[in-house]
Amino acid sequence: VRKPSSLPIHPCGSYRFNSLIAILRAQGTVAAQAELHPTHRLDRLTSGLVIFAKTKSAARQISSWFQGSEIRKTYLARVRGCFRRIVERAGELGSGEGELPAGVSLARAGRIRLTGFIQCIDHKIGKYVYCAEKPCVGEEAKDAATEFEFVSDAPNGESVVKCFPSTGRTHQIRVHLLHLGFPIANDICYGGELRDDSSLPLIPHVQQASCVDGGEDRLPARAEETTMHPSGIFLHALTYALPEHEYTSETPPWAEDG
């Protein structure tokens, strides 16, 4: 199923009826009493592919593949700045030393890899940070790795990037892109700007909520006074390659503007 941004997968917070599962049932895509089991997470503000299972046993199997990093995932993101430059610089240096951000190395020609740890620094708002080394204090940090490729230039000096997360930490791609210096252009939680985009318009703000896993994304303090908030960010789950099948969703309009 292709999930639009602004929808959580299942009911949570102020989204009791407008959730992906509830809409699938209301539209008759899935029978009201039919089993429908989510197999993985996808943030409310992120669009793209969601895999459901029809039985509990299938859900457990697919979930175990996700947890064991046996599923190859590809995401699209639109970021601030010219991402081509960091890929070219990594190719020239050939390692994570020197002019590259901490944790960056050349995975192969045209692709960089970022490794390190992700740590939650505020459970209330669900805020995460990148750490090159495992911190000795604070909330337990989890290892995380993502590879990136430059796809194309986009308007306003932005870039479309392919993201290949090896692990599945909360907000992993968003945190990693911020660390690289190329935040998702309209992700105000992680270095982007509040933007009324034609494909992702601002929508009336009804209730503030947190960024925690399974919930909504909270606006930073400076944006709490506004009456509008983002309906989504430039991050899209494009492809999941399972051990036996591969599923792909359509490319979003914001990734085709370049």
Active site residue ranges: 43
Cα–Cα distance measured from residue 70 to residue 66, given in angstroms and rounded to the nearest whole number: 6
- Classify strands 47-49 and 235-241 as parallel, antiparallel or unpaired: parallel
Q: DSSP assignment of 144-208, as one string?
A: EEEEEEEEEEEGGGEEEEEEEESS--TTHHHHHHHHHT--BTT-GGGT------SSS-EEE----
Closest to 132 measured CA to CA, from 167, 166, 105: 105
Helix (H, G, I), strand (E, B) or coil at 156: helix
Q: Are the CB atoms for 8 and 23 separated by under 8 Å?
A: no
Cα–Cα distance measured from residue 200 to residue 95, given in angstroms and rounded to the nearest whole number: 37
First and final C-alpha spacing in the chain = 26
- Classify strands 72-80 and 158-165 as parallel, antiparallel or unpaired: antiparallel
Closest to 73 measured CA to CA, from 180, 157, 149, 146: 146
